[in-house]
Amino acid sequence: MATDKKNLKKIRDVFYLRTKVDGKEILKSLGVRTLAEAKTKRDEFLSGARDVKTQSDVIYKVARAKKIYQPKKFLIENIIPEFRTSLETAKSKPGEPLLNMYCYWIKEFQNWLHQNDSPIKYLSEINTDIAKKYAKNLYHSNISPKTYNEKINCLARMFKLINGSVNTPFDEKDESGNTNIERLNKETVSREVFTREDAIRILNSFNEINIPFRNEYELLFYLGAYTGMRLKDCALLLWDKVNFAANNITTRPYKTQKHNIEVQVPMHPNLRAKLITANNPENQYVMQNLAETYLRNPKAVGKVISRILELNGLTNPKVENKKSPCLYGFHSWRYFFSSICAEQGIPLDVVKNLVGHMNEAMTRSYTKISDNKFHQQEIAKFQITEPTPEQDSLKKTLLKRLETLPDSTLSQVLKLLDTIEA
Protein backbone atom coordinates (compact mmCIF):
# COMPACT_ATOMS: atom_id res chain seq x y z
CA MET A 1 0.00 0.00 0.00
CA ALA A 2 1.06 3.60 -0.49
CA THR A 3 2.60 5.20 2.62
CA ASP A 4 2.97 8.86 1.60
CA LYS A 5 0.60 11.67 0.62
CA LYS A 6 0.35 10.49 -3.00
CA ASN A 7 -3.21 10.75 -4.40
CA LEU A 8 -4.28 12.82 -1.36
CA LYS A 9 -5.32 16.47 -1.18
CA LYS A 10 -6.49 18.43 1.85
CA ILE A 11 -9.18 21.09 1.40
CA ARG A 12 -10.60 22.92 4.46
CA ASP A 13 -9.38 20.26 6.87
CA VAL A 14 -10.93 17.39 4.84
CA PHE A 15 -8.83 14.93 2.83
CA TYR A 16 -9.74 14.01 -0.76
CA LEU A 17 -8.57 11.23 -3.07
CA ARG A 18 -7.29 12.83 -6.25
CA THR A 19 -6.81 11.48 -9.77
CA LYS A 20 -7.21 12.66 -13.37
CA VAL A 21 -9.65 11.71 -16.13
CA ASP A 22 -8.85 13.05 -19.61
CA GLY A 23 -6.47 15.58 -18.03
CA LYS A 24 -9.11 16.87 -15.61
CA GLU A 25 -8.46 16.52 -11.87
CA ILE A 26 -11.15 14.51 -10.07
CA LEU A 27 -11.55 14.67 -6.29
CA LYS A 28 -13.41 12.19 -4.08
CA SER A 29 -13.99 13.14 -0.46
CA LEU A 30 -12.67 10.60 2.02
CA GLY A 31 -14.60 12.27 4.86
CA VAL A 32 -11.68 12.33 7.31
CA ARG A 33 -9.52 15.09 8.78
CA THR A 34 -6.26 13.42 9.82
CA LEU A 35 -3.50 12.19 7.50
CA ALA A 36 -3.45 8.76 9.15
CA GLU A 37 -7.18 8.27 8.57
CA ALA A 38 -6.86 9.57 5.00
CA LYS A 39 -4.10 7.06 4.23
CA THR A 40 -6.23 4.24 5.63
CA LYS A 41 -9.28 5.28 3.57
CA ARG A 42 -7.18 5.71 0.46
CA ASP A 43 -5.59 2.27 0.87
CA GLU A 44 -9.00 0.68 1.42
CA PHE A 45 -10.28 2.23 -1.78
CA LEU A 46 -7.22 1.22 -3.80
CA SER A 47 -7.34 -2.32 -2.40
CA GLY A 48 -10.64 -2.72 -4.22
CA ALA A 49 -8.68 -2.16 -7.44
CA ARG A 50 -6.10 -4.86 -6.70
CA ASP A 51 -7.33 -6.86 -9.67
CA VAL A 52 -6.81 -4.07 -12.19
CA LYS A 53 -3.72 -4.00 -14.35
CA THR A 54 -3.23 -0.39 -15.41
CA GLN A 55 -3.51 3.12 -14.05
CA SER A 56 -6.37 3.76 -16.45
CA ASP A 57 -8.29 0.95 -14.73
CA VAL A 58 -7.92 2.73 -11.37
CA ILE A 59 -9.07 5.97 -12.99
CA TYR A 60 -12.11 4.14 -14.31
CA LYS A 61 -13.00 2.95 -10.81
CA VAL A 62 -12.61 6.45 -9.36
CA ALA A 63 -14.77 7.86 -12.15
CA ARG A 64 -17.41 5.25 -11.37
CA ALA A 65 -17.31 6.12 -7.67
CA LYS A 66 -17.71 9.84 -8.46
CA LYS A 67 -20.53 8.99 -10.85
CA ILE A 68 -18.82 10.93 -13.62
CA TYR A 69 -18.35 7.87 -15.82
CA GLN A 70 -21.09 7.54 -18.40
CA PRO A 71 -20.75 4.58 -20.76
CA LYS A 72 -21.44 5.42 -24.39
CA LYS A 73 -24.76 4.28 -25.78
CA PHE A 74 -24.24 1.69 -28.49
CA LEU A 75 -27.28 0.13 -30.12
CA ILE A 76 -27.42 -3.64 -29.71
CA GLU A 77 -27.93 -4.01 -33.46
CA ASN A 78 -24.64 -2.15 -34.14
CA ILE A 79 -22.30 -3.95 -31.73
CA ILE A 80 -20.71 -6.25 -34.34
CA PRO A 81 -19.40 -3.43 -36.60
CA GLU A 82 -18.40 -1.49 -33.43
CA PHE A 83 -16.53 -4.57 -32.20
CA ARG A 84 -14.66 -4.90 -35.49
CA THR A 85 -13.76 -1.20 -35.44
CA SER A 86 -12.56 -1.38 -31.83
CA LEU A 87 -10.27 -4.30 -32.67
CA GLU A 88 -8.42 -2.17 -35.23
CA THR A 89 -6.67 -0.33 -32.39
CA ALA A 90 -6.42 -3.30 -29.99
CA LYS A 91 -2.98 -4.58 -28.99
CA SER A 92 -3.78 -8.17 -29.94
CA LYS A 93 -5.97 -8.60 -33.00
CA PRO A 94 -7.34 -12.07 -33.87
CA GLY A 95 -6.95 -13.52 -37.34
CA GLU A 96 -9.89 -13.26 -39.76
CA PRO A 97 -11.23 -16.83 -39.14
CA LEU A 98 -11.26 -16.28 -35.36
CA LEU A 99 -12.73 -12.80 -35.75
CA ASN A 100 -15.56 -14.25 -37.85
CA MET A 101 -16.18 -16.80 -35.12
CA TYR A 102 -16.33 -14.03 -32.49
CA CYS A 103 -18.86 -12.13 -34.60
CA TYR A 104 -20.93 -15.30 -35.02
CA TRP A 105 -21.02 -15.78 -31.21
CA ILE A 106 -22.03 -12.13 -30.70
CA LYS A 107 -24.79 -12.61 -33.30
CA GLU A 108 -26.01 -15.62 -31.28
CA PHE A 109 -26.26 -13.36 -28.21
CA GLN A 110 -28.19 -10.75 -30.23
CA ASN A 111 -30.60 -13.44 -31.45
CA TRP A 112 -31.10 -14.71 -27.90
CA LEU A 113 -32.04 -11.19 -26.74
CA HIS A 114 -34.48 -10.89 -29.63
CA GLN A 115 -36.02 -14.34 -29.07
CA ASN A 116 -36.60 -13.53 -25.40
CA ASP A 117 -38.44 -10.29 -26.31
CA SER A 118 -35.90 -8.23 -24.41
CA PRO A 119 -36.74 -4.53 -24.28
CA ILE A 120 -33.02 -3.74 -24.13
CA LYS A 121 -31.95 -1.31 -26.82
CA TYR A 122 -28.42 -0.30 -25.76
CA LEU A 123 -25.38 -2.34 -24.81
CA SER A 124 -25.00 -0.38 -21.55
CA GLU A 125 -28.39 -1.69 -20.42
CA ILE A 126 -27.15 -5.28 -20.20
CA ASN A 127 -26.49 -6.16 -16.54
CA THR A 128 -25.21 -9.21 -14.65
CA ASP A 129 -28.69 -10.72 -14.33
CA ILE A 130 -29.10 -10.80 -18.11
CA ALA A 131 -25.55 -12.09 -18.53
CA LYS A 132 -26.20 -14.92 -16.04
CA LYS A 133 -29.43 -15.90 -17.82
CA TYR A 134 -27.58 -16.12 -21.12
CA ALA A 135 -24.75 -18.10 -19.50
CA LYS A 136 -27.35 -20.52 -18.11
CA ASN A 137 -28.85 -20.86 -21.59
CA LEU A 138 -25.39 -21.68 -23.01
CA TYR A 139 -24.73 -24.19 -20.24
CA HIS A 140 -27.84 -26.17 -21.18
CA SER A 141 -27.21 -25.97 -24.95
CA ASN A 142 -25.07 -29.14 -25.09
CA ILE A 143 -21.78 -27.41 -25.92
CA SER A 144 -18.38 -28.39 -24.55
CA PRO A 145 -16.88 -26.59 -21.50
CA LYS A 146 -14.18 -25.19 -23.80
CA THR A 147 -16.73 -23.66 -26.20
CA TYR A 148 -18.81 -22.35 -23.28
CA ASN A 149 -15.78 -20.53 -21.85
CA GLU A 150 -14.78 -19.15 -25.25
CA LYS A 151 -18.25 -17.71 -25.90
CA ILE A 152 -18.48 -16.05 -22.47
CA ASN A 153 -14.93 -14.65 -22.75
CA CYS A 154 -15.75 -13.33 -26.23
CA LEU A 155 -18.71 -11.34 -24.88
CA ALA A 156 -16.61 -10.01 -21.99
CA ARG A 157 -13.95 -8.85 -24.43
CA MET A 158 -16.57 -7.26 -26.65
CA PHE A 159 -17.88 -5.23 -23.69
CA LYS A 160 -14.40 -4.05 -22.68
CA LEU A 161 -13.47 -2.97 -26.20
CA ILE A 162 -16.71 -1.18 -27.07
CA ASN A 163 -17.57 0.36 -23.70
CA GLY A 164 -13.96 0.93 -22.64
CA SER A 165 -14.86 -0.54 -19.25
CA VAL A 166 -12.75 -2.57 -16.82
CA ASN A 167 -15.60 -4.69 -15.47
CA THR A 168 -18.28 -6.34 -17.60
CA PRO A 169 -21.46 -8.33 -16.85
CA PHE A 170 -19.71 -11.44 -18.23
CA ASP A 171 -16.64 -11.33 -15.95
CA GLU A 172 -15.81 -14.35 -13.83
CA LYS A 173 -15.58 -12.11 -10.74
CA ASP A 174 -17.47 -8.90 -9.95
CA GLU A 175 -15.86 -5.67 -8.74
CA SER A 176 -15.86 -6.93 -5.13
CA GLY A 177 -14.11 -10.17 -6.06
CA ASN A 178 -17.23 -12.31 -5.69
CA THR A 179 -18.10 -15.04 -8.19
CA ASN A 180 -20.16 -13.72 -11.10
CA ILE A 181 -20.13 -16.15 -14.06
CA GLU A 182 -17.98 -19.17 -13.36
CA ARG A 183 -15.90 -20.68 -16.12
CA LEU A 184 -16.16 -24.45 -16.60
CA ASN A 185 -13.37 -26.96 -16.16
CA LYS A 186 -12.05 -28.06 -19.54
CA GLU A 187 -12.58 -31.81 -19.73
CA THR A 188 -10.07 -32.77 -22.39
CA VAL A 189 -10.39 -36.16 -24.07
CA SER A 190 -7.65 -37.67 -26.21
CA ARG A 191 -8.79 -38.43 -29.74
CA GLU A 192 -8.56 -42.07 -30.79
CA VAL A 193 -6.32 -43.04 -33.71
CA PHE A 194 -7.74 -45.22 -36.48
CA THR A 195 -6.14 -48.64 -36.62
CA ARG A 196 -5.11 -50.12 -39.98
CA GLU A 197 -8.21 -52.32 -39.80
CA ASP A 198 -10.40 -49.23 -39.19
CA ALA A 199 -8.84 -47.39 -42.14
CA ILE A 200 -9.25 -50.32 -44.55
CA ARG A 201 -12.85 -50.89 -43.46
CA ILE A 202 -13.75 -47.19 -43.82
CA LEU A 203 -12.14 -46.73 -47.26
CA ASN A 204 -13.77 -49.91 -48.57
CA SER A 205 -17.23 -49.12 -47.20
CA PHE A 206 -18.44 -46.43 -49.60
CA ASN A 207 -20.09 -48.78 -52.09
CA GLU A 208 -22.44 -49.88 -49.30
CA ILE A 209 -23.17 -46.42 -47.83
CA ASN A 210 -26.16 -44.40 -48.99
CA ILE A 211 -25.17 -40.72 -48.63
CA PRO A 212 -25.38 -37.68 -50.94
CA PHE A 213 -22.28 -37.08 -53.08
CA ARG A 214 -20.89 -40.45 -52.03
CA ASN A 215 -17.94 -40.36 -54.46
CA GLU A 216 -16.88 -36.94 -53.17
CA TYR A 217 -16.95 -38.09 -49.55
CA GLU A 218 -14.93 -41.15 -50.53
CA LEU A 219 -12.31 -38.87 -52.11
CA LEU A 220 -12.42 -36.65 -49.00
CA PHE A 221 -11.56 -39.65 -46.83
CA TYR A 222 -8.77 -40.70 -49.20
CA LEU A 223 -7.30 -37.20 -48.93
CA GLY A 224 -7.42 -37.40 -45.14
CA ALA A 225 -5.88 -40.87 -45.05
CA TYR A 226 -3.06 -40.25 -47.53
CA THR A 227 -2.13 -36.61 -46.74
CA GLY A 228 -3.07 -35.98 -43.09
CA MET A 229 -4.56 -32.64 -44.16
CA ARG A 230 -7.19 -30.96 -41.96
CA LEU A 231 -10.87 -31.16 -42.91
CA LYS A 232 -11.18 -27.57 -44.16
CA ASP A 233 -8.04 -27.88 -46.30
CA CYS A 234 -9.37 -31.10 -47.86
CA ALA A 235 -12.97 -29.93 -48.32
CA LEU A 236 -11.97 -26.68 -50.04
CA LEU A 237 -9.10 -28.08 -52.12
CA LEU A 238 -8.92 -26.45 -55.57
CA TRP A 239 -8.05 -28.28 -58.78
CA ASP A 240 -5.36 -25.73 -59.60
CA LYS A 241 -3.57 -26.88 -56.44
CA VAL A 242 -3.38 -30.47 -57.73
CA ASN A 243 -0.31 -30.92 -59.94
CA PHE A 244 -0.34 -34.31 -61.67
CA ALA A 245 2.91 -33.56 -63.54
CA ALA A 246 4.83 -32.86 -60.32
CA ASN A 247 2.75 -35.48 -58.46
CA ASN A 248 1.93 -33.21 -55.53
CA ILE A 249 -0.78 -31.15 -53.88
CA THR A 250 -0.05 -27.58 -52.86
CA THR A 251 -1.91 -26.25 -49.85
CA ARG A 252 -1.82 -23.17 -47.68
CA PRO A 253 -3.34 -24.49 -44.41
CA TYR A 254 -6.25 -22.31 -43.26
CA LYS A 255 -5.34 -22.76 -39.59
CA THR A 256 -1.90 -21.17 -40.10
CA GLN A 257 -2.93 -18.86 -42.95
CA LYS A 258 -1.64 -15.70 -41.26
CA HIS A 259 1.90 -17.13 -41.39
CA ASN A 260 1.62 -17.38 -45.19
CA ILE A 261 3.14 -20.87 -45.27
CA GLU A 262 2.74 -23.08 -48.32
CA VAL A 263 3.00 -26.86 -48.01
CA GLN A 264 3.51 -29.35 -50.81
CA VAL A 265 2.23 -32.87 -50.18
CA PRO A 266 3.30 -35.67 -52.55
CA MET A 267 0.46 -37.78 -54.01
CA HIS A 268 0.39 -41.40 -52.95
CA PRO A 269 -0.41 -43.70 -55.92
CA ASN A 270 -3.76 -44.73 -54.38
CA LEU A 271 -4.79 -41.09 -53.88
CA ARG A 272 -3.51 -40.13 -57.33
CA ALA A 273 -5.73 -42.78 -58.93
CA LYS A 274 -8.80 -41.41 -57.14
CA LEU A 275 -7.98 -37.83 -58.15
CA ILE A 276 -7.49 -38.80 -61.80
CA THR A 277 -10.89 -40.50 -61.79
CA ALA A 278 -12.54 -37.43 -60.25
CA ASN A 279 -10.69 -34.89 -62.41
CA ASN A 280 -13.12 -32.37 -63.90
CA PRO A 281 -11.55 -29.17 -65.32
CA GLU A 282 -14.97 -27.47 -65.34
CA ASN A 283 -15.11 -27.48 -61.54
CA GLN A 284 -13.25 -25.04 -59.30
CA TYR A 285 -13.11 -27.37 -56.31
CA VAL A 286 -11.90 -30.97 -56.33
CA MET A 287 -15.14 -31.96 -54.55
CA GLN A 288 -17.45 -29.26 -55.94
CA ASN A 289 -20.73 -30.23 -54.24
CA LEU A 290 -19.09 -31.03 -50.92
CA ALA A 291 -17.14 -27.74 -50.98
CA GLU A 292 -20.31 -25.72 -51.65
CA THR A 293 -22.02 -27.49 -48.73
CA TYR A 294 -19.03 -26.83 -46.47
CA LEU A 295 -19.00 -23.11 -47.33
CA ARG A 296 -22.71 -22.84 -46.48
CA ASN A 297 -22.69 -25.03 -43.39
CA PRO A 298 -19.52 -26.84 -42.19
CA LYS A 299 -21.56 -28.69 -39.55
CA ALA A 300 -23.58 -30.42 -42.28
CA VAL A 301 -20.38 -31.96 -43.67
CA GLY A 302 -19.32 -32.89 -40.14
CA LYS A 303 -22.61 -34.74 -39.59
CA VAL A 304 -22.14 -36.83 -42.74
CA ILE A 305 -18.59 -37.66 -41.66
CA SER A 306 -19.88 -38.76 -38.23
CA ARG A 307 -22.51 -40.93 -39.91
CA ILE A 308 -19.89 -42.64 -42.11
CA LEU A 309 -17.78 -43.40 -39.05
CA GLU A 310 -20.78 -44.66 -37.07
CA LEU A 311 -21.73 -47.00 -39.93
CA ASN A 312 -18.22 -48.39 -39.60
CA GLY A 313 -18.62 -49.03 -35.88
CA LEU A 314 -16.69 -45.95 -34.72
CA THR A 315 -19.06 -44.13 -32.38
CA ASN A 316 -18.54 -41.45 -29.76
CA PRO A 317 -19.83 -42.18 -26.23
CA LYS A 318 -23.09 -40.52 -25.19
CA VAL A 319 -22.99 -38.37 -22.04
CA GLU A 320 -26.25 -37.19 -20.47
CA ASN A 321 -26.79 -33.39 -20.44
CA LYS A 322 -23.35 -32.80 -21.92
CA LYS A 323 -21.77 -32.68 -25.33
CA SER A 324 -20.41 -36.12 -26.22
CA PRO A 325 -16.59 -36.28 -26.23
CA CYS A 326 -15.31 -36.56 -29.80
CA LEU A 327 -13.10 -39.64 -29.86
CA TYR A 328 -13.44 -40.19 -33.60
CA GLY A 329 -13.68 -37.57 -36.32
CA PHE A 330 -12.06 -36.51 -39.58
CA HIS A 331 -9.08 -35.23 -37.58
CA SER A 332 -8.40 -38.85 -36.61
CA TRP A 333 -6.98 -39.28 -40.12
CA ARG A 334 -4.30 -36.73 -39.23
CA TYR A 335 -3.24 -38.81 -36.24
CA PHE A 336 -3.45 -41.98 -38.33
CA PHE A 337 -1.29 -40.55 -41.12
CA SER A 338 1.40 -39.37 -38.69
CA SER A 339 1.38 -42.68 -36.80
CA ILE A 340 1.69 -44.86 -39.92
CA CYS A 341 4.46 -42.64 -41.28
CA ALA A 342 6.41 -42.98 -38.03
CA GLU A 343 5.72 -46.70 -37.89
CA GLN A 344 7.12 -47.20 -41.39
CA GLY A 345 10.31 -45.29 -40.65
CA ILE A 346 9.57 -42.03 -42.45
CA PRO A 347 11.76 -39.38 -40.71
CA LEU A 348 9.97 -37.14 -38.19
CA ASP A 349 11.06 -33.94 -39.96
CA VAL A 350 9.47 -35.17 -43.19
CA VAL A 351 6.22 -36.05 -41.40
CA LYS A 352 6.10 -32.60 -39.78
CA ASN A 353 6.61 -31.01 -43.19
CA LEU A 354 3.88 -33.09 -44.79
CA VAL A 355 1.22 -32.44 -42.16
CA GLY A 356 2.12 -28.74 -41.92
CA HIS A 357 2.98 -28.39 -38.25
CA MET A 358 4.14 -24.96 -37.07
CA ASN A 359 7.89 -25.36 -36.55
CA GLU A 360 11.20 -24.85 -38.35
CA ALA A 361 10.91 -28.10 -40.28
CA MET A 362 7.57 -27.04 -41.77
CA THR A 363 8.80 -23.63 -42.87
CA ARG A 364 11.64 -25.01 -44.98
CA SER A 365 11.51 -24.24 -48.67
CA TYR A 366 9.96 -26.87 -50.94
CA THR A 367 11.45 -25.41 -54.08
CA LYS A 368 14.63 -27.51 -54.03
CA ILE A 369 14.47 -30.48 -56.41
CA SER A 370 16.39 -32.72 -54.00
CA ASP A 371 13.88 -32.06 -51.19
CA ASN A 372 10.91 -32.74 -53.48
CA LYS A 373 12.36 -36.05 -54.66
CA PHE A 374 13.09 -37.04 -51.08
CA HIS A 375 9.52 -36.40 -50.00
CA GLN A 376 8.17 -38.31 -53.02
CA GLN A 377 10.32 -41.30 -52.09
CA GLU A 378 9.25 -41.15 -48.45
CA ILE A 379 5.51 -40.90 -49.14
CA ALA A 380 5.80 -43.91 -51.46
CA LYS A 381 6.64 -45.94 -48.34
CA PHE A 382 3.24 -45.09 -46.85
CA GLN A 383 1.08 -48.22 -46.84
CA ILE A 384 -2.25 -48.61 -45.08
CA THR A 385 -2.33 -52.36 -45.73
CA GLU A 386 0.56 -54.63 -44.81
CA PRO A 387 2.24 -55.89 -48.02
CA THR A 388 2.34 -59.64 -48.61
CA PRO A 389 5.82 -61.28 -48.92
CA GLU A 390 5.26 -61.63 -52.69
CA GLN A 391 4.28 -57.94 -53.06
CA ASP A 392 7.20 -56.86 -50.90
CA SER A 393 9.70 -58.84 -52.96
CA LEU A 394 8.28 -57.58 -56.25
CA LYS A 395 8.43 -53.95 -55.12
CA LYS A 396 12.01 -54.29 -53.89
CA THR A 397 13.07 -55.77 -57.23
CA LEU A 398 11.28 -53.01 -59.14
CA LEU A 399 12.83 -50.26 -56.99
CA LYS A 400 16.34 -51.66 -57.50
CA ARG A 401 15.81 -51.69 -61.27
CA LEU A 402 14.47 -48.12 -61.25
CA GLU A 403 17.51 -46.87 -59.32
CA THR A 404 19.81 -47.95 -62.16
CA LEU A 405 17.78 -46.39 -64.99
CA PRO A 406 18.83 -43.06 -66.57
CA ASP A 407 16.51 -40.04 -66.33
CA SER A 408 15.41 -40.33 -69.94
CA THR A 409 14.19 -43.90 -69.38
CA LEU A 410 12.51 -42.92 -66.08
CA SER A 411 10.57 -40.25 -67.97
CA GLN A 412 9.27 -42.90 -70.37
CA VAL A 413 8.31 -45.15 -67.44
CA LEU A 414 6.35 -42.30 -65.83
CA LYS A 415 4.51 -41.60 -69.09
CA LEU A 416 3.65 -45.29 -69.36
CA LEU A 417 2.34 -45.34 -65.78
CA ASP A 418 0.22 -42.24 -66.46
CA THR A 419 -1.26 -43.98 -69.50
CA ILE A 420 -2.04 -47.14 -67.46
CA GLU A 421 -3.60 -45.17 -64.56
CA ALA A 422 -5.68 -43.04 -66.94
pLDDT in tens, 324-346: 556 788 988 888 888 887 777 77
Residue 379: pLDDT band by 50, 70, 90 thresholds?
low
Q: What is the mean pLDDT of residues 225-235?
A: 91
Residue 369: pLDDT band by 50, 70, 90 thresholds?
very low
Q: What is the DSSP string of 36-85?
A: HHHHHHHHHHHHTTTT--SHHHHHHHHHHHTT-------BGGGHHHHHHH
Q: What is the mean pLDDT of residues 318-327?
A: 58
Digit-coded pLDDT (tens) for 14-37: 888 877 655 566 777 787 888 888
**Structural domains for the chain:** 8-65 (no CATH), 76-163 (1.10.150), 196-385 (1.10.443.10), 387-422 (no CATH)
- Of residues 350 and 321, the one with the higher pLDDT is 350
Instruction: Tell me how far apart the alpha carbons of residues 404 and 397 are, in angstroms, rounded to a whole number.
Output: 11
Weakest-pLDDT range from 44-58, 353-367, 396-410 = 353-367
Q: What is the DSSP string of 390-407?
A: HHHHHHHHHHHHHHHS-H
The mean predicted confidence, pLDDT, of the chain is 78
- Counting residues of the chain whose pLDDT is more than 90, the rounded percentage is 25
| CB-based burial label for 334 (10 Å; 0-12, 13-18, 19+) | buried
Q: What is the pLDDT of residue 1?
A: 42
> Does the pTM exceed 0.75?
no
Angle (CA) 112-117-119 rounded to 5° is 105
Q: What is the pLDDT of residue 316?
A: 66
Whether pLDDT at 56 is above 60: no
